Amino acid sequence: MPETRFKRIMLKVGGESLIGDREYGIDPQAALTVAQQIKAVHESGVDVAVVIGGGNIFRGVAGSKNGIDRATADYMGMLATVMNALALQDALEKVGVETRVQSALEMPAVAERFIRRKAIRHMEKGRVVILAAGTGVPYVTTDTGASLHALELHCDVLMKATKVDGIYDKDPMKHQDAKRFKTLSFKDAISLPGVEVMDTAALAMSSDNHMPVMVFELFEKDNLIKAVNGEDIGTYVSNDVETTFA
């Protein structure tokens, strides 16, 4: 088996990855597509932890803008991530990958409580660990939760799977002349106008603790295993690189 670039990864997947052709909710076939990509990485011998968002069901920030108390809206968003975690667990186990869901909120009927050492032990035993409900507190995004958990679980990299093939100097959906970064320093990721990759808290936490971030397109076939194997895809964010365009 070829040597992989990373031995343990934290994969941040947006809830939108489970929508498929629907306008909202969960498409089981889309969940299976994500599961197959995770399976390929898992079978290469890499430890995998996953943080999944809830935007396909309910997004806390959007709820608060529509009049719901922000803390209440964020808790509702956390519940959405638990639903997505269970859907992804079902898909992973359908393709033969043993999986555990851990939640930052107490939900013993459907998920284990998040315990750092237990999550590490699950990965050491060859299980994929899906971490739901963010950090368990409001006013914090799942990006920040992914950064925090990546550090807690001694991951080598935080890999953020998105709908675009990396980080651009401006929104590529709106600007045809947008340029993709090949590498990006954390300093520039935080300070450059137009760069939208993760919230500032998540980037600052990753930078302060030297946790590199990779941003790539999940829906391009085999992109996840290519990224783990060190192929040049997406954008690599680190304290140890200079900002360069692809």
Cα torsion through 176, 213, 127, 108, rounded to 10: -90
DSSP string, 57-95: T--HHHHHHTTS-HHHHHHHHHHHHHHHHHHHHHHHHHT
Q: What is the mean pLDDT of residues 49-71?
A: 92
Domains and CATH numbers, the chain: 8-245 (3.40.1160.10)
**Contact between 9 and 159 (Cβ < 8 Å):** yes
**Residue 196's pLDDT band (cuts 50, 70, 90):** confident
> pLDDT value at position 1?
47
pLDDT at residue 33 greater than cutoff 50: yes
User: Model confidence over 133-169: pLDDT tens digits?
Assistant: 999 999 999 999 999 999 999 999 999 999 889 999 9
Buried residues in 60-95 as b, exposed as e (16+ CB within 10 A) = beebbeeebeeeebbbbbbbbbbbbbbbbbebbeee
Q: Which residues contact 117 (CB under 8 A, 6 or more apart)?
A: none
Q: What is the mean pLDDT of residues 58-70?
A: 89
Q: What is the pTM of this model?
A: 0.95
Q: What is the mean pLDDT of residues 117-127?
A: 98
Q: What is the mean pLDDT of residues 181-205?
A: 93
**Residue 172's pLDDT band (cuts 50, 70, 90):** confident
